[in-house]
Chains A and B, each alone.
Chain A
Amino acid sequence: MRIGQPEPKRGNPRLLVTLIALSLVLVTVYFREGDSGVLHGARRVTLEITAPIAHAGMALTSPFRAAGGLIEGIGVSRERLDALEEQNAELRARLAELEEARQENERLRALVDFAEGRRLAKLGAHVIRRPVSIWEGVIVVDRGSVDGVESGMPVIAAQGLIGQVAEVSPHSATVRLLTDQQSGVAALVQSTRATGVVRGSVTGELSLGFIDREQLPQPGDVVLTSGLGGVYPAGIVVGDVTAVDDRRGELYPRVTVESRVQVDRVEEVFILVGSSIATEGGEIE
Chain B
Amino acid sequence: MRRWWTTVGALALALVLQVALAPHIAIANVVPSFMVLVVITLSFVEGPSSGAVAGFVAGLLLDFLSTSPVGAWALVLSATGYTAGMLQENLFAEGWLAPVTVAIIAALLADFFYLLMLTILGVGPAFWESLLAAVLPRAVYNAVLVLLAYPWLARFLRSDQSMKSFRRLA
Contacts and interface: CB of A to CB of B under 8 A. Distances in A.
A53 B23 contact: no
A23 B67 contact: no
B92 A9 contact: no
Contact of B138 (A19, A24, A43, A134): A134
Interface string A129-165: 1111111101000000000000000000000000000
B39 interface: no
Contacts of B6: none
B46 A23 contact: no
A133 B30 contact: no
Nearest to B135: A134
Nearest to B46: A9
Given A138-B66, A203-B129, A25 B21 contact: no
Contacts of B129: 201-203
B56 A22 contact: yes
Contact of B121 (A27, A50, A181): A27
A50 B49 contact: no
Contact of B66 (A8, A29, A136): A136
A65 interface: yes
Contacts of B78: 16, 19-20, 23
Contacts of B16: 53
Interface residues of A, number: 54
Contacts of B29: 131, 134, 203-204, 264
B75 A23 contact: yes
Interface in B80-124: 82, 85-86, 89-90, 92, 94, 114-115, 118, 121, 123
B82 A11 contact: yes
A135 B138 CA distance: 10
Nearest to B15: A50
A103 interface: no
B125 interface: yes
A54 interface: yes
B66 A15 contact: no
Contacts of A133: 31, 33, 62, 65-66
B52 A136 contact: no
Interface string A16-60: 100110111111111100000001001100100010011011001
Q: Chain B contact residues: over half helix, strand or loop, or mixed? A: helix
B31 A1 contact: no
A135 B21 contact: no
A114 B16 CA distance: 54
Given A19-B53, A27-B72, A135-B114, A202 B134 contact: yes
Interface in B16-37: 16, 18-24, 26, 29-31, 33
B94 A2 contact: yes
A30 B74 CA distance: 13
Contact of B24 (A29, A42, A57, A203): A57
B64 A15 contact: no
A182 interface: yes
Contacts of A16: 48-49, 52, 78-79, 82
A202 B125 contact: yes
A27 B134 contact: no
A23 B125 contact: no
B127 to A, nearest CB: 10
Given A16-B52, A202-B134, A130 B89 contact: no
A-B pairs, top 5 by smallest CB distance, nearest first, are: A57-B20, A9-B47, A26-B71, A23-B75, A11-B48
